Structure formats: structure tokens, C-alpha cells
């Protein structure tokens, strides 16, 4: 029997004893068996979170005390970094070294929010009256459901858990059912660090089952979710019933614009990384290449040459440069996406199918793929594949590049390459996406806000704003010299003013 649910400060089995196996995307071996929560377990977790919040056991801590807790969690994560990275790499199939980079980012996230929380948060407002003190204070928002995806499992959870703890919220974490192990490890650390009972709870299982009460329950005040657009729409609909606060990160279809005057060697190399890193399973992947017509052949030929050389392999393959897709279902989706793109008129230049290498036969490996001659009306240009598939479109003018870059329902990120800094700044300003890289693609820092315009989501994670998502803002007006308001007449007192 496995006991990997953490509810009200206790490690538990599912109430019906249910469990499920986690399979490696690299070779399908079972890498773990974890509890699969029932509806009863989820309701218990919500009740525990609500009770702990309402009891004041954590909200009574100062921001500085909670920040110290979060700093301690960062220290413990540092101690266990390789252990956690191994679990992450087992679940996702990504190379161990990439998982190690991810855990370093997780630790940086906890450190960022620990530093942010230690800053003074109160502000006074000059209301123009000598006898009035006006204060703006930040208070923990309440109970939060924190639902994460499978591509960067612990990092996406950390972006939610760290600010929730600093803010003083109680919460229920639900990682993807495909990648639960690192969340279990984090919860053990949160417990060890001395987090009060009931504040942090962990539920495991498929979103369609255990996610539903997490988004419907009226005792939950906020849902913070990273995942697909369709699930985001389901969550938004459910949240409407009790007007829950929402923080949503729903992916993107991110334009990567290369002008003819760019440093092409750097631009091409970054274009390859932007599209094929982690086999395209990155919400900010630069999978939509927009290239100035005059350099199309040179850029695309080189990208195709490079894409064909990318070495695929599993967690411990030291020669590998990227890994498998997360699941058989996802492999099917990406395959269909490419087939539809070709049927729509795109030209397949490289890849386009599952790897046929013998060492990949049990894994979900898809070859890095480039689709040329794409136009903005094609599904393959508009839909997120979340696989290693780059689509290529051409443009002739700056205005056209901007128009194409904005011709998407998404708005998460984009890149622009040009040696003309004024042009690059104009384009960066005109693109309606939450992060724009100029002469670069991909880097982020926990100190800078992250999130989407349009259907890429609501709200921001990281930065200062990422903490704000977990806080309510209260204005306290204190009259230090009370007097009658005098608005309505009071015959006993004479006429009003």
C-alpha cells in the first residue's frame, strides 16, 4: 500500500486504497506507484486547508516569518537536489542534467519569494485630512488549489507554492498524474521545514476526477493553474459559480521573428534551441518561425540541417540533447498535428514522424520537424503542438512581421532578431505577448513577471506580481478625531450641513 497523499499534516493512502503506476516516457518501465485520491480524499484536503486558514495558525505569522520558512525550504531542496532531479527525470523522461537545471530554478524561485516576502508590504495613503490615517495592507487570500502540468512539473508547482506560502495561504497541490514524484518530494520538505499542519496538502490523480472538486468547491478561494487551454476554459467556467480568483497559464504559439539584418549565426542557433528544447514541450517554445523573405532559404536550410542532427535519448544518455514526448497519447497528437499540417499545404522538410531508432522503440520519441510554406490561416500555425515542430512563414516588411506575430489567440512570448536596435524595440513594443526577447530566446528570471496576454492566461507568476496573486489588498481608514457625518438631517441636533 502506498501512502503518498498529504492531508492535514498526515501521509495517507487513498480512502479506497487506490494507486496508479507512473511509467517512464523513455522506455515505459514503471518508475513509481503512487496513491490515487478519491473524491473523499480531495474533500478532506480542502477541509483541512480551509480549517487551517480560518484558524489563523499560519496567517498569524508575519511575512518575515513565512519568508524564513520559504528560505528553509530552499535550503532543504538544495540538500536533496539530485534526489528530486532523479524523480523528475524518471517521470518526464528528460535528461538527468536538464532535471538538475530545473531543480536549480526551483530553488531560485523559493529564494526569490523568500526575499520578496521579507520586504515591507504596508503603504500609507495621503488622504488630505490631518486627522485620518489611511493604510493599505496585504493579507493572505485564502485557500488555493494549485494545479500543475507535466513538462516542468516541480518548477511550475514551485511558482505557485512559494508565493502561496509567503502570502500565508493554505493550499492543495495537484501535480499532473503523469509526473507526481517531485511534488511528493517537495511536500516532504515542506513538512520537514515546519509548515503548520493543514496548510500544505497534496492530492494525486487524474484532473478529470480529483481536479473537479478542487475547482468547484466553494471553500476554495483561488485556483492557480498551468496547463492546456481547454482545461483552462473548464476551470474558468467552474470558477464563475463562486467567483473564485484565477491565475491561469495556458501555453502559447510563440512567434520568433528573424530580420535579414540580424546576426544570423546566433539567430539560427537560437531558433533551433527555441523550437526543439525539451522536444518542444515548453509553453514558451519558439515554434512559429517568421523569417524575412530574402534570407528564408539560408535560414531554413541551416535550421533543417541542424534539426536533423539533434540527438534524442533518455535520462542517462550522456550523448542525448533532448528526450521523449511525455506519453503515447501526446505522441499521437503531435503526429496528427503534423499530418494535418501537410494536408493543409505545409511542406515537410525534416522529421515528421516517430523515431525509428532501435533504442527508442519503447519510448515516445518524435523527430525534430520543420514545416515550411506555412500561412497564418493553417491550424498548424494557430494551434500549439507542444512537440518538436517548427512552422515557417515569410514576411517582407516590419509591419507584416508585427501583424503575423500578433495573429494568434495566444500571447505568451515572442522573439525578435535584428541588428537595428530601434526596429527591434519597435517590434518588441508592438507584439502583444507577455515576454519578448530581443536578440535572444528563452531565458527568464524569477525576479521578472511571467504570463500571457489574450488566451495565454490570466495574471502573472514570478516577479512581484506573482506574490500579489495570493494576496488580498485591504484599505484601513482610521479617523483619529471622530465626529458626526452630518449627511442626513437630525431634528434633535438641528439642520444637516
The residues assigned a catalytic role are 249, 283
Closest-CA residue to 41 (of 143, 164, 174):
174
| Pairing of the two strands 5-7 and 457-458 | unpaired
210 in Cβ contact with 422 (< 8 Å): no
Partnered with residue 414 across adjacent β-strands are 436
238-247: long-range contacts at Cβ-Cβ below 8 A with a sequence spacing of 24 or more?
238/212, 239/215, 241/216, 242/218, 244/215, 244/220, 245/141, 245/221, 245/469, 246/222, 246/458, 246/459, 247/160, 247/222, 247/223, 247/457, 247/458, 247/459, 247/460, 247/461, 247/469
Helix, strand or coil, per DSSP, at residue 308 = coil
- Phi, psi (deg, nearest 5) at residue 393: -125, 155
Q: Tell me how far apart the alpha carbons of residues 171 and 160 are, in angstroms, rounded to a whole number.
A: 10
- What is the DSSP-derived secondary structure letter of residue 459? S
Closest-CA residue to 24 (of 387, 326, 358):
326
Residues 467-476 as b/e (b if ≥16 CB within 10 A, e otherwise) read bbbbbeeeee
The nearer residue to ligand TXE, 220 or 283, going by C-beta atoms, is 283
- Phi, psi (deg, nearest 5) at residue 15: -65, -25
- What is the DSSP-derived secondary structure letter of residue 450? B
Residues 26-44 as b/e (b if ≥16 CB within 10 A, e otherwise) read bbeeebbebbbbbeebbbb
| Interface residue list for ligand TXE (CB under 6 A) | 147-151, 174, 176-177, 206-208, 211-212, 214-215, 226-228, 231, 234, 249-251, 283, 384, 386
Cα dihedral 273, 276, 281, 286 sign: positive
Q: Max Cα separation, the chain? A: 96
277 in Cβ contact with 286 (< 8 Å): no
Grid cell locating 381? 500555425
Closest-CA residue to 165 (of 5, 7, 244, 53):
53
70 in Cβ contact with 161 (< 8 Å): no
The total number of residues shown for the chain amounts to 497
Q: Tell me how far apart the alpha carbons of residues 434 and 128 are, in angstroms, rounded to a whole number.
A: 37
Q: Tell me how far apart the alpha carbons of residues 445 and 423 are, in angstroms, rounded to a whole number.
A: 25
Amino acid at each position: 500500500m502506498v501512502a503518498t497523499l498529504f492531508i492535514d499534516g498526515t501521509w495517507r493512502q487513498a480512502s479506497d486504497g487506490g494507486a496508479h503506476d507512473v511509467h517512464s516516457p523513455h522506455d515505459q518501465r514503471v518508475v513509481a506507484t503512487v496513491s490515487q485520491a478519491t473524491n473523499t480524499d480531495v474533500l478532506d484536503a480542502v477541509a483541512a486547508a480551509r480549517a487551517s486558514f480560518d484558524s489563523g495558525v499560519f496567517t498569524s505569522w508575519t511575512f518575515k516569518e513565512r519568508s524564513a520558512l520559504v528560505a528553509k525550504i530552499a535550503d532543504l531542496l538544495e540538500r536533496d537536489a539530485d534526489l528530486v532531479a532523479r524523480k523528475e527525470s524518471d517521470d518526464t523522461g528528460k535528461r538527468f542534467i536538464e532535471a538538475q537545471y530545473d531543480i536549480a530554478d526551483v530553488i531560485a524561485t523559493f529564494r526569490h519569494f523568500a526575499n520578496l516576502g521579507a520586504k515591507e508590504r504596508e503603504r500609507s495613503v495621503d488622504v488630505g485630512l490631518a486627522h485620518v490615517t489611511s493604510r493599505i495592507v496585504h493579507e493572505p487570500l485564502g485557500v488555493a488549489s494549485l494545479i500543475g502540468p507535466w513538462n516542468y512539473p516541480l518548477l511550475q508547482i514551485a511558482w505557485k507554492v512559494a508565493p502561496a506560502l509567503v502570502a500565508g495561504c493554505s493550499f492543495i497541490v495537484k501535480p499532473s498524474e503523469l509526473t507526481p514524484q517531485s511534488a511528493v518530494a517537495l511536500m516532504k520538505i515542506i513538512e520537514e521545514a515546519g509548515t503548520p499542519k493543514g496548510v500544505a496538502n497534496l492530492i494525486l490523480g487524474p484532473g478529470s476526477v480529483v481536479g473537479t472538486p478542487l475547482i468547484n468547491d466553494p471553500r476554495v478561494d483561488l485556483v492557480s493553474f498551468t496547463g492546456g487551454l481547454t482545461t483552462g476554459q473548464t476551470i474558468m467556467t467552474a470558477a464563475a459559480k463562486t467567483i473564485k480568483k484565477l491565475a491561469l497559464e495556458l501555453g502559447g504559439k510563440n512567434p520568433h521573428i528573424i530580420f535579414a539584418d540580424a546576426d544570423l549565426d546566433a539567430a539560427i542557433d537560437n531558433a533551433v534551441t527555441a523550437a526543439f528544447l525539451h522536444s518542444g514541450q515548453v509553453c514558451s517554445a519558439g515554434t512559429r518561425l517568421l523569417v524575412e523573405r530574402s534570407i528564408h532559404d539560408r535560414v531554413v536550410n541551416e535550421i533543417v540541417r541542424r534539426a536533423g542532427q539533434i540527438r534524442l535519448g533518455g535520462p542517462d544518455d550522456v550523448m542525448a540533447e533532448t528526450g521523449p514526448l511525455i506519453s503515447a497519447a501526446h505522441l499521437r497528437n503531435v503526429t496528427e498535428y503534423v499530418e494535418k499540417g501537410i494536408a493543409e499545404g505545409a511542406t515537410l522538410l525534416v522529421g515528421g514522424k516517430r523515431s525509428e531508432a532501435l533504442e527508442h522503440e519503447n519510448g515516445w520519441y518524435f523527430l525534430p520537424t520543420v514545416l515550411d510554406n506555412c500561412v497564418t490561416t493553417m491550424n498548424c500555425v494557430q494551434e500549439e503542438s507542444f512537440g518538436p515542430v517548427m512552422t515557417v512563414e515569410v514576411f517582407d516588411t516590419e509591419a507584416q512581421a508585427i501583424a503575423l506575430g500578433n495573429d494568434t489567440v495566444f500571447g505568451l512570448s515572442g522573439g525578435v532578431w535584428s541588428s537595428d536596435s530601434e526596429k527591434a524595440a519597435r517590434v518588441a513594443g508592438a507584439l502583444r505577448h507577455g515576454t519578448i526577447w530581443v536578440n535572444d530566446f528563452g531565458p527568464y528570471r524569477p525576479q521578472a513577471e511571467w504570463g500571457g496576454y489574450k488566451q495565454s492566461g490570466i495574471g502573472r507568476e514570478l516577479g512581484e506580481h506573482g506574490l500579489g496573486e495570493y494576496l488580498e489588498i485591504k484599505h484601513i481608514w482610521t479617523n483619529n478625531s471622530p465626529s458626526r457625518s452630518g449627511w442626513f438631517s437630525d431634528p434633535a441636533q438641528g439642520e444637516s450641513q
